[in-house]
Structure 1
């Protein structure tokens, strides 16, 4: 495959993307345009002039002003050459100060090849879509991607011949861009969101466990990358986003084989940098690349991660963004690396709670409608889960819980899980504690699942290369534990998972209850700090002893992680005051908000299942408390 062409314009690098044939009227002009004979790419702006009766400089200036305001790819240098699309049979162009206004003998000639508005480069009689190359200083990406071509699309809601057929990016297959810069298309070339493509133009980054046709899935393992070829099909959930109009800009890092581990444990690739605070905070795992990219880059809208036992929650809290682990089974994992299918789910990260809500609605094929806000009847807060934090973190969490109580009118109910279990457990578990019953459930599920689901890769690698596939020390430790588990132990863990889910649905999330749990580090957690031996640290990553994330992973319901605030700390790196995000997660069980109290909302919202209820409930709490519903990129969230 040919290497993409890179152009520097006004100190900014651009890549030439998929090409469009230049309209024949411009090609056949006598004498020919000088710019058409140039061996160098020439910047061009394509404008939509379908509503313009008379072309004036004031109109051009107005259009250029709008472009500069709404797009981060286009710049004024693209106005050196202008092509104006019209709704009639005329085409107007200013190429290298040479003016052309011509009439086509066949009005369909232009209409049949409608070129989207936006910035382009003209080279060899073709218009190449301009992709701006954004740097990746956080090291969040494995690679950028560009579509391989463009394709004709028939507009279902077309009003005229002119709008019935247009050329769009063909995201049926991609080409990886691996030189450390991420190619991003202009926002100008996409239609307005509509019922068919409500995500039109949204820029999406995808965790590198999901397949993209034409691009290798590496799992951030050099050995796995050597073993595999480019994907032949795009993962089902990612393809759904593409079908809804989203634009995939690249693949972001995961911890090797999507295994839980700290940033010190990565070997084959460097873990991404968390942009918050001093820039050396732990980015979370294993969707660390997704979380860091959303927290760091304004040009990215949404990042796709995945969660087995906390990989959506950790990066969301550590990077100070919103992240939703949806109800299990709501989204398909087809086309993604399986870790443990009974636990695995895709998830989404966003800087904006409203945008996250829109994505959640679209998961369920929902549409906007006037609805009632459902306030939970009970707020469950297990006090034993909040005792390990330093005062600065604990105080930030407590402040948000009080704000939640104030606007909902629901006072927290302190529920200690051991006490609840002792009073409500099934009779056959009499004398057995909550910890004794479920202390190994999550760990056994994911250890057995991860080991079994990677056997084929390890065997194929050894057969192909005659040696063992490299695994980081923590990953080797994980596989050693998984190898010792039997299918009977796995079956027992599955039965325990069902018991856990049934218990929390009946006694924790009953009658419209929700739960708030912590998801932050106890104190400042740096990327270069290693606490304990490999075995001690590795055990903490495996899900032993019922971590907070078990309530969603085992319970099957959604977990919405969000920034509850931030706390100041004296950085050991910068020696000045910095701010660390403090996170909480809001949980429920699937379909368990039916008993909630309805309150009329001020805005048009849609509630399609518990997942969306949680997102809109959190949005309501933030708005009513006059708290930010959107966080900034960079060192601080607010």
Structure 2
């Protein structure tokens, strides 16, 4: 099939429309004033009012709500308006004053009415000379089909095709590999858009939110950017490597985790980078952290994105979430099937998301994890928060005050008790560096060795076969490392504890999910070498990302404020997000989500929505 698309401007906004396949074909007995060139049109479903006649008092708020909730629809689409009933079984009149409203306030020139709608004329022969009115039979439109389309007449003019409209956003922070769109071929295939603006920025296509206005799916219309390690049918997967791209080619299946999101109604609009783009925060020269920095930076940058998907093996979602002032998570290991994505270390790989809102955070994860057998039930929240205190004395006062205030509000409002523990002193919960346990350094080396043996060697052998090259084998005792990982997981999960009523006996709190002695983090290492960090070198060697990764426990990151720093780039004081993370017993994701959601609902304002751009709050 030939896939063709049209790129155009309306009201100084760039759009594109794929027109290899129509969304709907209207068949008429008469010729409509729509030619073989494309005509912008807005489709509006209307319902029969209690008064029996549809007037401007019903139409005006409907149109205003459409324009408010949808960034794709603009005034230009109202040149041609198609009204049809939400319920096809009803017939009612449209008062002529509604037509006057469309003509005078929305600049409508052509009105197309479903045959079950009639114009209520004040007297026979009344006409609106500047508004051309036509009628079409009830056809392909579903009851609540709404939104902007392009219309084009077929050869003889009695069939009108409607094609979907996508708004194009310039991706100026360079966080995406590509913008993508669905072919709507019934097979779940996507295609790379491959368009750039005059400055070479990728263009990301977003569909109208009105297309899913009648959907009962929990994530209907939610726009998502996906880290470019997930396979999506019809798209290449780069994993940040040209060699990997050449080796794997175009995916012929979609990762089941992505299928789940699509089935819940999410709309994939692009694939995000795995290498550090520019962060939109602060001086615009910061890094968003780890390999999920593309999805994180995109979420912090663009209001037109609803959430992004990353992956977390050793902090690749949690670190960027903390740096960018976002809500992000590493779920319980095994909560979602990991087929169809590039694995780093299968023992600890997990998919995670980024959002700017605690309410949306819960909404998306509830839908994503809805049928997971690994998600345990709970009746109420735990009573204890375990907080490592090792580095508290070295924290600047402005950071420590935000952390302490947050903990006190949680204590006072949710009736929980904070228990401070020192993991570097003699303490029952201290992590031993011997006795067969896995240290942070061992964990790092295991990740690199796993990638080299089970991913890198496969690619290198293929590349060598293509280029007559030889590559050395990797020698690492993974069985021994697995034993250490399991022993460490048993220790850490034992510290948190399991409870039948609360799922997790305690919640472990880390005040620096991205180590404070590494912040701020610039994109250039030479700047990091001379930058003054928020605290000196950490005393607690058990970094926040390590225990949850090694133990398989869920960890959820939330932004709690921001603090100033003197930028080495801008030369002025900038604001940097400050975050906190919560860890629970494996399988207690639902409890953690409920906990975060409650914090977002507190009148004390513990958790708030964050903004896009330089400043998160």
Shared fold (TM-score, shorter chain, > 0.5): yes
Mapped to 2, the partners of 1:373 and 1:577 lie a distance apart of 46
Which of residues 460, 463, 476 in structure 2 aligns to 1:461?
463
Mapped to 1, the partners of 2:108 and 2:341 lie a distance apart of 48
2:75 corresponds to which residue?
76
Which of residues 157, 163, 183 in structure 2 aligns to 1:128?
163
Return the TM-score normalized by structure 2: 0.80
The CA deviation string for residues 24-53 of structure 1, in whole angstroms up to 9 with x for no partner, is 11xx424x41x324x3x3211011135366
Contact 1:513 1:588 in 2 (8 A): yes
Is it true that 1:406 corresponds to 2:412 in the alignment? Answer: yes
User: Using a 3 Å threshold, how does the CA distance of structure 1 residues 199 and 102 change in structure 2: closer, same or farther?
Assistant: closer
Q: Secondary structure at the match of 1:340?
A: coil
Q: CA deviation at 1:149?
A: 2.3
Q: Secondary structure at the match of 2:347?
A: coil
User: Using a 3 Å threshold, how does the CA distance of structure 1 residues 80 and 530 change in structure 2: closer, same or farther?
Assistant: same
User: Using a 3 Å threshold, how does the CA distance of structure 1 residues 395 and 554 change in structure 2: closer, same or farther?
Assistant: same
Contact 2:236 2:250 in 1 (8 A): yes
Q: CA deviation at 1:435?
A: 9.9
Mapped to 2, the partners of 1:424 and 1:584 lie a distance apart of 21
Q: Secondary structure at the match of 1:295?
A: helix
User: Using a 3 Å threshold, how does the CA distance of structure 1 residues 293 and 434 change in structure 2: closer, same or farther?
Assistant: farther
1:344-383 superposed matches below 5 A: 344-365=349-370, 374-383=380-389
Contact 1:143 1:251 in 2 (8 A): yes
Is it true that 1:324 corresponds to 2:367 in the alignment? Answer: no
Q: CA deviation at 1:365?
A: 2.1
The CA deviation string for residues 436-486 of structure 1, in whole angstroms up to 9 with x for no partner, is 7534441243122211222222222333355699xxxxxxxxxx9xx6542
Which of residues 13, 17, 27 in structure 2 aligns to 1:24?
27
Q: CA deviation at 1:8?
A: 0.3
2:158 corresponds to which residue?
none
1:93-108 superposed matches below 5 A: 97-101=109-113, 103=115
Contact 1:440 1:546 in 2 (8 A): no
Which of residues 280, 286, 306 in structure 2 aligns to 1:281?
286
Q: CA deviation at 1:611?
A: 0.9
2:344 corresponds to which residue?
339
Mapped to 1, the partners of 2:527 and 2:565 lie a distance apart of 20
Is it true that 1:519 corresponds to 2:521 in the alignment? Answer: no
Q: Secondary structure at the match of 1:220?
A: coil
Q: Secondary structure at the match of 1:384?
A: coil
1:519-538 superposed matches below 5 A: 519-520=513-514, 521-522=516-517, 523-530=519-526
User: Using a 3 Å threshold, how does the CA distance of structure 1 residues 98 and 355 change in structure 2: closer, same or farther?
Assistant: closer
Q: CA deviation at 1:7?
A: 1.0
Q: Which range is displaced more, 386-395 or 522-531?
A: 386-395
Q: Secondary structure at the match of 2:523?
A: coil
The CA deviation string for residues 494-525 of structure 1, in whole angstroms up to 9 with x for no partner, is 11111111112223446511111122342322
Q: Which range is displaced more, 507-516 or 87-96?
A: 87-96
User: Using a 3 Å threshold, how does the CA distance of structure 1 residues 148 and 237 change in structure 2: closer, same or farther?
Assistant: same
Mapped to 1, the partners of 2:230 and 2:191 lie a distance apart of 15
Q: Secondary structure at the match of 1:231?
A: coil
Contact 2:560 2:606 in 1 (8 A): no
The CA deviation string for residues 89-125 of structure 1, in whole angstroms up to 9 with x for no partner, is 9899999834555749xx9973455382100112354
1:224 corresponds to which residue?
244
1:614 corresponds to which residue?
592
User: Using a 3 Å threshold, how does the CA distance of structure 1 residues 629 and 434 change in structure 2: closer, same or farther?
Assistant: farther
Q: Secondary structure at the match of 2:329?
A: strand
Return the TM-score normalized by structure 1: 0.78
Mapped to 2, the partners of 1:324 and 1:312 lie a distance apart of 6
Is it true that 1:495 corresponds to 2:489 in the alignment? Answer: no
Mapped to 1, the partners of 2:146 and 2:7 lie a distance apart of 21
2:210 corresponds to which residue?
188
Q: Secondary structure at the match of 1:22?
A: strand
Q: How many residues align?
A: 544
1:299 corresponds to which residue?
304
Q: Which runs of 5+ in 2 are unaligned?
A: 117-134, 155-160, 196-201, 500-504, 530-539
